């Protein structure tokens, strides 16, 4: 007896997937007189990533003011969640660089409007990431850039 063709295996897997989706749809359906709660469905399937927990930081996540031209760097540990949210808020001009672990490229984000409230929401993957924040243009040069992470 010869082995089945790859196209036959793919067809069987596709059929099994369709059957599984049908079963999940039938099990999720409520009584006939009830309409589905769209907000509950959105919350369940489109929920936002959880924020990075405080204990997941390695190093100082920029809790002190940064003088112009200086940078702070810290790591976000890996976690079971597929992605997590890391918010960076400032009123100064800063550059935030996200370096995902396991990927070769860094993602730079420039917050260029000193004097206005600026925020970036970084998505940290399951493996974690390195983060560097560089002070480019502080609103008050005597104090430096004030950045809130988390």
Domains for the chain: give ranges and CATH numbers: 6-45 (no CATH), 54-149 (2.60.120)
List the beta bridge partners of residue 93: 137
Strands (E), 42-116: 57-58, 71-76, 83-90, 93-100, 107-111
Give the residue from 85, 92, 89, 97 showing the smallest Cα distance to 148.
89
pLDDT in tens, 59-117: 888 889 999 999 999 999 988 888 889 999 999 999 999 999 887 788 888 888 888 88
- For residue 108, the model assigns a pLDDT of 87
Q: Which residue has the higher pLDDT, 122 or 31?
A: 122
- For residue 96, the model assigns a pLDDT of 92
Q: Are 93 and 137 spatial neighbours (Cβ–Cβ below 8 Å)?
A: yes
| pTM of model > 0.75 | no
Q: Are 56 and 79 spatial neighbours (Cβ–Cβ below 8 Å)?
A: yes
List the beta bridge partners of residue 84: 124
Using 50, 70 and 90 to split pLDDT, how confident is the model at 42? low
Q: Which residue has the higher pLDDT, 1 or 110?
A: 110
């Amino acid at each position: 007896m010869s082995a089945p063709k790859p196209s036959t295996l793919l067809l069987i897997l596709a059929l099994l997937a369709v059957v599984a989706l049908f079963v999940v749809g039938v099990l999720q359906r409520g009584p006939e007189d009830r309409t589905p709660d769209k907000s509950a469905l959105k919350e369940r399937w489109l929920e936002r990533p959880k924020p990075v927990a405080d204990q997941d930081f390695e190093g100082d996540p920029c809790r002190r003011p940064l003088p112009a031209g200086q940078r702070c760097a810290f790591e976000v540990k890996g976690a079971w969640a597929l992605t997590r949210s890391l918010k960076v808020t400032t009123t100064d001009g800063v550059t935030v660089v996200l370096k995902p672990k396991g990927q070769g490229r860094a993602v730079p984000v420039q917050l260029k409007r000193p004097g206005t409230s600026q925020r970036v929401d970084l998505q940290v993957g399951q493996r974690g990431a390195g983060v560097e924040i560089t002070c480019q243009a502080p609103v008050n040069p005597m104090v430096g850039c004030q950045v809130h992470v988390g």
